[in-house]
């Protein structure tokens, strides 16, 4: 059976995409450089939150296969690149994984093939980095093969929107490339939105996340001065969002996490500085504000302990929820990490609980895991709700705690409860 598509990178983006294509009856090959991931998937076992073992087993039964064999990329009619693009040392995107994936495709490229980049990056990457590498063998984009960019929009843990019903933005190197990409995605995605070109599609993803980044920074800064002024910001937001137009609610927190919000806007900021020589001030200010939130939480913790006549040094501080968003195990860029590190640096006895994280690697064992959160909050000098997982009975935990610092605005008001 011919392979309709090879998905390169089988993580939070690539695997749900492969699932939907397989469900639509397409023969899908998954490629990843991690042999353990490939072996687990072929055995019907998932390694991401959004797909269960049963989901992966169903994919395998439907013809999905994972491989580390690069030579098999040439079997596919379409190659979709879904590899990570973390920040480099200079603040721009680290494109090494993208370049490696593109080079692998280039070695197997054949006439008529569709190549799509989904990895988030700066405007111009598809045309300036991907296209020359693919064309090095003599085939020409838009003439001999099709090239497009389609930004990933996966929101891990979102039960309402997934790969199928989230509109898919597509920008082609040429109109024919856009048509080929739209036809490919249209088989298993409900709505395809065509951008003018690859740069517009690349920038659309950055605009989406920059919008969120800046608005989160706005409410994070408001949280600080509202506390000083004795204003309940959570009540302010509830009142403001009653307006049926012109306002979208964003909420403060202990920092921002995940692969998108704390990282993607920096691609745009870095690109503006590098190409145009001036700063993207909104993004840089938002980054400054959001990155300061863990330190602000530490200061609030210290102030609350002072009210009980306790120093932060030597006090037991329990962190509840250390993932970057609720109800998933994903810890990428979680603000719980800098928060815990700063507490440790000030001499606190840091403990944590998270139903999705049995072992917290980034802290290297410096944070002790509490097995029972209810018993843990009763024994800790202060508890910080960092992430509100559905498994937590926040009312009970807040009532049981010596001091309860709620960074998510969900705990009932009380003498022992304090909000961000």
- Checking if the pLDDT of 91 tops 80, the result is no
- Quick: pLDDT tens for 98-117: 999 999 999 999 999 999 99
Position 62 confidence tier, pLDDT thresholds 50, 70, 90 = very high
- Checking if the pLDDT of 191 tops 70, the result is yes
Annotated catalytic residue, options 82, 177, 226, 260: 260
Q: 252: closest CA among 209, 294, 218, 227?
A: 218
Position 69 confidence tier, pLDDT thresholds 50, 70, 90 = very high
Which range has highest mean pLDDT (120-124, 258-262, 313-317)?
Answer: 313-317
Question: Would you state the pLDDT for residue 145?
Answer: 98
Question: Would you state the pLDDT for residue 190?
Answer: 96
Same fold, 3-198 and 218-419: yes
- Overall fold of domain 3-198: Rossmann fold (3.40.50)
Question: Would you state the pLDDT for residue 332?
Answer: 86
- Checking if the pLDDT of 364 tops 80, the result is no
Mean pLDDT calculated for residue range 282-307: 95
- Checking if the pLDDT of 44 tops 60, the result is yes
CB 418 within 8 A of CB 404: yes
In DSSP terms, which residues pair with 8 in a beta bridge? 31, 81
Reply yes or no on whether 82 is catalytic. no
Position 269 confidence tier, pLDDT thresholds 50, 70, 90 = confident
Question: Would you state the pLDDT for residue 270?
Answer: 81
pTM for the predicted model, two decimal places: 0.91
Mean pLDDT of the chain: 94
Mean pLDDT calculated for residue range 308-313: 96
Mean pLDDT calculated for residue range 225-252: 97
* CATH number belonging to the domain at 218-419, selected among 3.40.630.30, 3.30.479.30, 3.40.50.720, 3.30.70.360: 3.40.50.720
Please report, for the chain, the start and end positions of each structural domain, with discontinuous segments joined by +.
3-198, 218-419
Q: What are phi and psi of 193, to 5 degrees?
A: -110, 120
Report CA dihedral (195, 7, 187, 62) to the nearest 10 degrees.
Answer: -170
CB 346 within 8 A of CB 410: no
Give CA–CA dist 350/369, Å, rounded: 9
Note the helical H segments in 277-358.
281-291, 293-307, 336-345
Q: Which range, of 96-105, 263-272, 403-412, averages the lowest pLDDT?
A: 263-272
Q: Report CA-CA distances (Å) from 312 to 71, 308, 315, 359, 365.
A: 57, 11, 5, 25, 20
Helix, strand or coil, per DSSP, at residue 395:
helix
**What string of DSSP letters covers 157-168?**
T-SS--TTTS-E
Tokens for 62, please give them.
């439907």
CB 340 within 8 A of CB 352: yes
For residues 352-368, b (16+ Cβ closer than 10 Å) or e, as one string?
Answer: bbbebbeebeebeeebe
């Amino acid at each position: 059976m011919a392979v309709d598509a090879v998905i390169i990178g089988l993580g939070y983006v690539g695997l749900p995409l492969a699932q939907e294509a397989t469900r639509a009856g397409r023969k899908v090959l998954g490629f990843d450089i991690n042999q353990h991931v490939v072996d687990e998937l072929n055995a019907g076992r998932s390694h991401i939150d959004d797909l269960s073992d049963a989901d992966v087993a169903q994919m395998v039964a439907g013809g999905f296969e994972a491989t580390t064999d690069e030579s098999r990329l040439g079997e596919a009619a379409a190659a979709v690149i879904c590899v990570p693009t973390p920040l480099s040392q200079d603040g721009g995107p680290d494109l090494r994984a993208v370049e490696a994936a593109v080079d692998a495709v280039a070695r197997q490229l054949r006439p008529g093939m569709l190549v799509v980049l989904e990895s988030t990056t700066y405007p111009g990457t598809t045309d300036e980095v991907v296209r020359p590498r693919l064309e090095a063998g003599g085939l020409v984009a838009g003439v001999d093969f099709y090239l497009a960019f389609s930004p990933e929009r996966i929101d891990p843990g979102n039960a309402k929107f997934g790969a199928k019903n989230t509109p898919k933005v597509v920008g082609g190197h040429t109109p024919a490339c856009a048509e080929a990409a739209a036809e490919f995605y249209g088989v298993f995605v409900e709505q395809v939105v065509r951008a003018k070109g690859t740069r517009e599609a690349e920038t659309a993803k950055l605009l989406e996340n920059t919008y969120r980044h800046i608005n989160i920074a706005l409410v994070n800064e408001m949280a600080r001065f509202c506390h000083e002024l004795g204003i309940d910001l959570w009540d302010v937001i509830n009142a403001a969002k009653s307006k049926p137009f012109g306002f979208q609610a964003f909420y403060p927190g202990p920092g921002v996490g995940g692969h998108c919000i704390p990282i993607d806007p920096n691609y745009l900021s870095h690109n503006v500085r590098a190409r145009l020589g001036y700063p993207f001030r909104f993004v840089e200010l938002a980054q400054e504000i959001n990155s300061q939130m863990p330190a602000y939480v530490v200061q609030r913790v210290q102030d609350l302990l002072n009210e009980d006549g306790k120093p932060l040094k030597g006090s037991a501080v329990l962190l509840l929820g250390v993932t970057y968003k609720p109800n998933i195990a994903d810890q990428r860029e979680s603000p719980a990490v800098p928060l815990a590190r700063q507490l440790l640096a000030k001499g606190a006895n840091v403990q944590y609980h998270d139903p999705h994280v049995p072992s917290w690697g980034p802290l290297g064992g410096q944070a002790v895991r509490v097995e029972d959160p209810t018993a843990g909050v009763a024994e800790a000098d202060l508890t910080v709700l960092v992430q509100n997982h559905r498994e937590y009975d926040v009312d009970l935990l807040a009532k049981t705690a010596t001091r309860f610092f709620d960074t998510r605005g969900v705990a009932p008001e009380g003498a022992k409860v304090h909000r961000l």
